[in-house]
């Protein structure tokens, strides 16, 4: 399974756009890139998933360059409630796979007033 590398922590202010970049140099053809968010005392929550180019939903955007060796999670106009740990994961998609999620230590995003 492809290993991911992301910053340990980031700081931001309310109203700013936050971009968290993740590298996954060994990503395989069948792998998808998935981001989860985790608040204290809660389980991780799915944010967004993509394979290539750009994916956008009501929460975030995910940018994936052509070589797919990295990806960037973009959170528009963050608020204090976006303070959380953000995990970048590479998830294989092939028949019969366990699809256990391999989490790293994530990026702790701290949003200040």
Sites of contact with another protein (CB under 8 A): 32, 34, 41-46, 49, 85, 87, 91, 93, 95-106
Lookup: tokens for 66: 């052509």
CB of 40 to another protein, least distance (A): 11
CB of 34 to another protein, least distance (A): 7
Closer residue to another protein (CB): 8 or 113? 8
List Cα–Cα distances, 19 to 31, 37, 91, 109, in angstroms.
22, 14, 21, 10
Q: How remote is the C-alpha of 71 from its chain's centroid?
A: 8
Closer residue to another protein (CB): 40 or 113? 40
CB of 15 to another protein, least distance (A): 29
Neighbours of 77 (CB within 10 A): 10
Lookup: tokens for 34: 């998935």
């Amino acid at each position: 399974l492809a290993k991911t590398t992301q910053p340990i922590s980031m700081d931001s202010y309310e109203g700013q756009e936050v971009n968290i970049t993740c590298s996954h140099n060994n990503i395989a053809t069948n792998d998808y890139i998935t981001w989860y968010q985790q608040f204290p005392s809660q389980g991780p929550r799915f944010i967004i998933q993509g394979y290539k180019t750009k994916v956008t939903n009501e929460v975030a955007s995910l940018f994936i360059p052509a070589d797919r060796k990295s990806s960037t999670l973009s959170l528009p106009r963050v608020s204090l409630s976006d303070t959380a740990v953000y995990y970048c994961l590479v998830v294989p998609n092939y028949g019969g796979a366990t699809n256990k999620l391999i989490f790293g230590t994530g990026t702790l995003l701290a949003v200040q007033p």
